[in-house]
Amino acid sequence: MSVFPNEAHLLKKQSDVPLIHISYECILKERFRDSDSYLYEIACSISSLMEAGHLSMRTTSKKTYRTSPAREISFTRAETTATTYVELSDAEQLEVRIVTPEGTYCKAFYYAHDQELIEQHGRGIISTIQRISNRSSNGQNGKNNWEA
């Protein structure tokens, strides 16, 4: 279930399910046969993880002409949180899978297409997806100014 970032804290108080927050920026990478191919820079944080639970993240490709094997994504894990940075190309997806110590299986799939990152499927997870605006990435003083 995708929600707006400002609603996530309300849902979090009502539930102990994992919360995935994704911030991403879409960058024009190359032109290919009259179409643009984009690169998605994604920052992903997961909270409300059980300490002994299992977490797996990977990317897979959906392009038939450039099928690549699944890539496992490394992440930094603290007691009940995890964070990672990953790059996706158009038509690739990010998969997040969580198994709790009680055996509950949660998963979410996020698909990169047409400059958007879309949650395709989610079970037992609350997701927020926030796009970082390219227009304001460099302020007048040379510092980064990120806007949603």
**pLDDT of amino acid 147:** 42
**Which tokens belong to 117?**
């990152």
Q: For residue 53, count CB atoms less than 10 angstroms from its CB and return exposed for 0-12, middle for 13-18, buried for 19 or more.
A: middle
Q: Cα torsion for 36, 37, 42, 48, to the nearest 10°? A: 100
Answer whether 71's CB lies under 8 Å from 59's CB.
yes
**pLDDT of amino acid 38:** 85
What 115-120 contacts at long range (C-beta under 8 Å, 24+ apart), as own/partner pairs, is 115/26, 115/38, 116/26, 117/22, 117/24, 117/26, 117/40, 117/42, 117/88, 119/2, 120/93
Distance (Å, whole) CA 97 – CA 54: 8
Whether the pTM exceeds 0.85: the reply is: no
- Give per-10-residue mean pLDDT for the chain (148 aa): 51 68 86 71 90 86 66 90 91 90 91 89 92 59 40
**pLDDT of amino acid 32:** 61
Question: What angle is formed at CA 131 by the lines to CA 125 and CA 133, rounded to 5 degrees?
Answer: 170
Q: Check if CATH label 2.60.40 holds for domain 2-131.
A: yes
